[in-house]
Amino acid sequence: MFQSTFRAVTCSMAILFVAPAVAHAQPESTSEAPNPATRPNIVWIMSEDNSKHYLKHFDETGVETPAIEAMAAHGITFDRAFSNAPVCSTARTTLITGCYGPRIGTQFHRRTELATLPEGVEMFPAWLRQSGYYTTNSSKEDYNAKKRMEPWDDSSRKASWKNRPSDETPFFHVVTFAESHESRLHFGVDALQKPTDFDPKTVSLPPYFPDTQVFRHTAAFYRDRMSIIDEKVASVIAQLEQAGELENTFVFYFGDHGGVLPRGKGYIYESGLHVPLVVRVPNNYRNLVDRELGSRTKGFVSFIDFAPTVLNLAGVRLDKAGPIDGKAFLGPQIDSAKVDTRDNTFGYADRMDEKYDLVRSIRVGDWKLIRSFESFQPDAMWADYRYKMLAYQQWRDRYHTGKLNNVQSQFFKPRPPELLFNLADDPHEVNNLASDPAHGDRLTELRAKLNAHLKQTNDLGFLTEAGMLKVIDAPVENGKRLSSEIAGYIDTANIAVMPWEQANKALLSAINSGDKLERYWALVAASSIAAWNRSANRDMAADETFVKLLHRRTLDTEPLVASRAAQLAAILQVEDPRPIFQRTLELSQSPTEALQIFNMVRHVNALAGNPYPMSSKLFRLPFNPDPKGLIQQHLDHLDRP
């Protein structure tokens, strides 16, 4: 009681000490650092693997969540909040650093090696600890970077803000609820007979799903999981209230990325990136936020912005050493009107488990561009963990038996290199407008903005994962050092979106380059063109000069380049790729390189008609793969009927 009264009195004083967070790292030492007892507590409640589409507060097809809705009535609803990545480790690393994953080398799930954080950047709770906060995490971390300063006073299943050294110590607490995790949908056929609280008959399925009992039951069951999440949220609120801390505490509720039905988690469609976000504003710190309670905003916020927002609310001043990428959206000196004008977000997806797929996106207002750099492989490329779900299994089986319509089949076919969507008319992203001349200016605008972002952030994905591991000790510094090369690789990869008459000449030059990664990305671009443009496919296969050059590349001394050439030769059906894959895997320089080559093997093995069938017996490796590792998953799958 004393603490609540004390904080209410000193709240008005806190603003005198709080400096706005800016997009830089490392707390600035200052004699005017705020008294910890004058600052608010902050709690994050995260539910795993759920996009905003499952909560009625955000989507009329979702389930009612009274506890989250009560938070919103005493706070702010962010209708356009986004994870920058659609899967756990990459999304969580973005949250904890405030940095884009491809800029700092943390974009691969599951990472081969932990990245070293750039100079001056820490996992942000470390700065809270340094300024007097008690920081706790219960209990999932799943970061792709090495810790430098310790961010947590306690990170465990028993971690609790209640264990802080005194009642006057402000706290930052994170709790993650796994009841909504993807694994909850790994049930067997018998589960379909069990009733769900949410009526499967009333479920609204997106148009890319077949309307079956499996999909209706899965969608209803998942909404039941969100009801359980809401009960968990209510319990956190109740604990804070019972301790007299609720009105001293900013409480954030959000999903840790999108998901979890097929085409959600792992994919940078809205179902994978658009998350629910509600922030409850405490009465005793009401003056730190210039919004009406119960209000909603359509201003864009994304995971890079969460760290600077918490630091701003906590009064942690940051100096100019080592920039982070996000901007605060709540707290002192944050103008809500300006936040409301924010209208863009960037997304990224790379390797997810054993499946490689380099994809980047930009959304501006209701327009979204997805750039699939390996568009020749379908979204449905196999990943063992995904296909443990009955809905994934049935979707795939119905495709192979011809029981899907065109929209439902998109997931299983090669993609155009560019996907342009007007989300106002097409919220499920099934009507690609990239080839529509009426939207040519919009496509050009978003393409330019996305390419500028990739180059400005020195996107390390264009070094390949094996190449990135060579610079992982100082990813940002090395990214800057290699900035011009990375920009060149991006330009080479973008040959795929040129008109064919221009792309043809550009490809011949780039495939013959002395730079191994320029050769690599030229072959990737050619594969995208060949898989999508039938006319270009015929031209490549019939062009004797091109075919000879392609054969030369299959003999390349770089295993990844030769493997990409083999993959393109298989798409064009001008050369048997199997001897090439055999050689490149035997010469592979690391398990990471071999993992990527196996991704190409798996793609070729799944081509229509299976022209080049392969089994694990074809391949020898210069190392023994982990019997429970990702390479072994590829080998095992090659031997399945």
> Cα-flanking dihedrals φ and ψ of residue 171, to 5°?
-135, 150
Q: What is the pLDDT of residue 29?
A: 36
Domain contains 571: yes
Judge whether 348 lies within some domain. no
- Looking at 319, 342, 365, the residue that finishes a domain is 342
Q: Which amino acid is it at 53? A: H
CATH of the domain at 465: 1.25.10
- The per-residue pLDDT for range 555-601, each reduced to its tens digit, is 999 999 999 999 999 999 999 999 999 999 999 999 999 999 999 99
Point out the least confidently predicted range of 3-12, 68-77, 220-229, 620-629. Answer: 3-12
Q: Is 514 exposed, middle or buried (0-12, 13-18, 19+ CB in 10 A)?
A: exposed
> What is the number of domains present in the chain?
2
Q: Are residues 471 and 603 in the same domain?
A: yes
Residue 420 in tokens = 């342009």
Cα gap 181→74, rounded to integer Å: 27
**Mean pLDDT, residues 609-632 taken together:** 96
More confident residue, 8 or 508: 508
- Per-residue pLDDT, 35: 66
CATH number at residue 110: 3.40.720.10
Percent over 90 (pLDDT), the chain: 91
**pTM for this prediction:** 0.94
Domain assignment of residue 259, yes or no: yes
Residue 195's pLDDT is 97
- Report residue 440's pLDDT band, with 50, 70 and 90 as the boundaries: very high
Tokens of 452: 């500028």
Residues 6+ apart with CB under 8 A from 167: 2, 3
Three-class DSSP category at 275 = strand
Q: What is the pLDDT of residue 24?
A: 42
Measured CA distances, 564 to 175, 527, 554, 556, 580 (Å)? 43, 8, 8, 10, 10
Termini Cα distance of the chain: 67
- Residues 6+ positions from 426 with CB-CB distance below 8 Å: none
* pLDDT at position 492 over 70: yes
Of 305, 325, 342, the domain-final residue: 342
Residue 79 CA to residue 86 CA, distance in Å, equals 18
Residues 337 and 480 in one domain: no
pLDDT value, residue 615: 97
154 and 296 co-located in one domain? yes
Reply yes or no: is the peptide bond before residue 602 cis, omega within 30 of 0: no
Q: Convert 194-214 to b/e letters by CB count within 10 Å (16 or more is b).
A: eebebebeebebbebbbeeeb
Looking at the domain assignment, is residue 4 inside a domain?
no
For residue 1, the model assigns a pLDDT of 40
Which residues does residue 616 pair with via DSSP β-bridges, in sequence order?
A: none
pLDDT tens digits for range 303-340: 999 999 999 999 998 764 458 999 999 999 999 999 99
pLDDT at res. 318:
72
List the Cα angle 14/161/159 in 5-degree steps.
145
Residue with tokens 């799944």: 606
Q: What is the pLDDT of residue 27?
A: 46
Instruction: State how beta strands 277-280 and 249-255 pair.
Output: antiparallel
Is residue 248 a contact partner of residue 7, using CB atoms and an 8 Å limit? yes
Beta bridge partners of 330: none
pLDDT tens digits for 260-304?
A: 999 999 999 999 999 999 999 999 999 999 999 999 999 999 999
Task: Give the pLDDT score at 34.
Answer: 57
Please state, in angstroms and rounded to a whole number, the distance separating the CA atoms of residues 483 and 220.
48
Cα 375 → chain centroid: 18
Does the structure show a pLDDT above 70 at 424? yes
pLDDT tens for each residue of 353-399: 999 999 999 999 999 999 999 999 999 998 999 999 999 999 999 99
Q: Which position has the token pair 């999903």?
A: 255
Residue ranges making up the domain that contains 263: 41-178+248-342
Give the model's confidence band at 110: pLDDT under 50 very low, under 70 low, under 90 confident, else very high.
confident
Distance CA 158, CA 477 (A): 38
616 and 485 housed in the same domain: yes
CA distance 521 to 221: 43
pLDDT, mean over the chain: 93
Instruction: Summarize pLDDT for 32-77 with one digit per residue, the tens.
Output: 455 666 899 999 999 999 999 999 999 999 999 999 999 999 999 9
User: pLDDT tens-digit profile of 136-155?
Assistant: 999 999 999 999 999 999 99
Looking at the chain, the whole-number percentage of residues with pLDDT higher than 70 is 94
Classified as helix, coil or strand, 215 is helix
Q: What angle (nearest 5°) sits at the alpha carbon of residue 386, between those of residues 385 and 391? A: 135
Tell me if residue 527 falls in helix, strand or coil.
helix
Is the domain of 616 the same as that of 473? Answer: yes
Average pLDDT over residues 610-618: 97
Last residue of a domain, one of 292, 327, 342: 342
Domain membership flag for residue 334? yes
Give the chain's count of helices (H) and strands (E).
23, 17
Q: Collapsing DSSP states into helix, strand and coil, what is residue 566?
A: helix
- Mean pLDDT in residue range 244-257: 98
* Residue 119 binned pLDDT confidence (cut-offs 50, 70, 90): confident
Average pLDDT over residues 597-607: 97
- CB 379 within 8 Å of CB 267: yes
- Flag whether 396 is in a domain: no
- Can you tell me whether residue 511 is helix, strand or coil? helix
Whether residues 321 and 464 share a domain: the answer is: no
Residue 261 domain flag: yes
Distance (Å, rounded) from C-alpha 209 to C-alpha 405? 10
